[in-house]
Amino acid sequence: MKKIKASDEIIQEARNIVDGLYFPLQGFLNEDDLRSILENMRLKSGQVWSMPVVFDISENEAQELKNENSIIITNKKDEFFVKDISIFKWDREFFVKNLYGTLDGAHPGVERAMKMKKFLLSGKVEKIRNSEKPGVFHLTSEQAKDIFKKNGWANVVAFQTRNPPHRSHEHLQKTALAEVDGILINPVIGSKKSGDFRDKHIIGAYQKLIKHHYEPGKAVLGTLHTFMRYAGPREAVFHALVRRNLGCTHMIIGRDHAGVGDYYGTYDAQKIFDNFTEDELGIRILRYENVTYCQGCGDMSEDGSCDHSQDQKIHLSGTKLREKLNNNEEIPEEFMRKEVIEYLKDNKDDLFV
């Protein structure tokens, strides 16, 4: 059986398939399922799935493997079988336009796709050897469900993040917690664009928040190991399905989920869920308006929930946080908890990718 080299990211995708995070996927997508997902956000079977999970190979590799039925992929540390393979040339422009809604090369997802190789290889993935020592916060589907069961949580809300927590995130999390038994705070760990926060500091900042500002036994911090696609609404659906597979019953979707720049509307990542029933998603989507700190109220406030003027509202975002840190500006406690501010300041020379 032939063995070919795969990137660490492809191996991580294989690991996520085997660990059940990408159910109903059993392997890398074939041509029919890929087209169906790009056109309809569903597999050919009709099951909801919004994100291509593909393995790109070169023309030389495609030629070398054309008569193979099964192969082994490896990054020298881990090995996976890919069985019943098929190889096909993909329509790059169709892929990019349908997934990202733009062909603009300045979009980081588009830029990434344009660098992919000419052919895609599909097939069922099975684990052979996995020497990867995941971080202490890494969770498989089985591990997450075990934690929720031990905590006695029947209803669990997931919160997706790629930034340290500011007060509006905390407000969304605690608002959702009022409806459920516990929360899984689930940062994405993996390849990100330049200027994003480093994974270790997202985790470190959340450790401070949970320790000092959460009721004990109400919050679990666990990491999701994959790369950011920056696909906005489609990625919101993908994130919700993965959290369903982790055992979560609810998912917070706020403004501009998984977005980048001005490519997507502020609430497009919420509106996309109108295409699906809750039963077929298998998870309830909690939609929240933009949250600001209202100086008139002296507290966090969702848009439209008070009568104070906009000049009394402090707008919070990961982008503004990065700007303040890069410019060595003071971060007020209305923006972020003091323990989190202190942590970020202590690590200011190593915060960003």
Q: What is the mean pLDDT of each run of 10 residues along the chain (353 residues)?
A: 96 96 99 99 99 99 97 95 98 98 97 98 93 80 97 98 93 97 96 87 97 97 94 97 99 92 95 98 96 90 85 84 90 93 94 90
* pLDDT value for 133: 66
- Cβ neighbours of residue 110 closer than 8 Å, sequence gap 6 or more: 96, 100, 102, 103, 104
The architecture of the domain spanning 3-130 is Roll (3.10)
CATH code 3.10.400.10 region(s) in the chain? 3-130
* pLDDT value for 255: 87
Structure letter (DSSP) for residue 232: T
Amino acid in the structure at residue 74: T
Under CATH, to which class is 141-350 assigned? alpha beta
* pLDDT value for 132: 66
CATH code 3.40.50.620 region(s) in the chain? 141-350
319 near 256, Cβ under 8 Å? no
Give the catalytic positions in this structure.
162-163
17 near 7, Cβ under 8 Å? no
275 near 233, Cβ under 8 Å? no
Cα 327–chain centre separation: 28
Amino acid in the structure at residue 288: Y
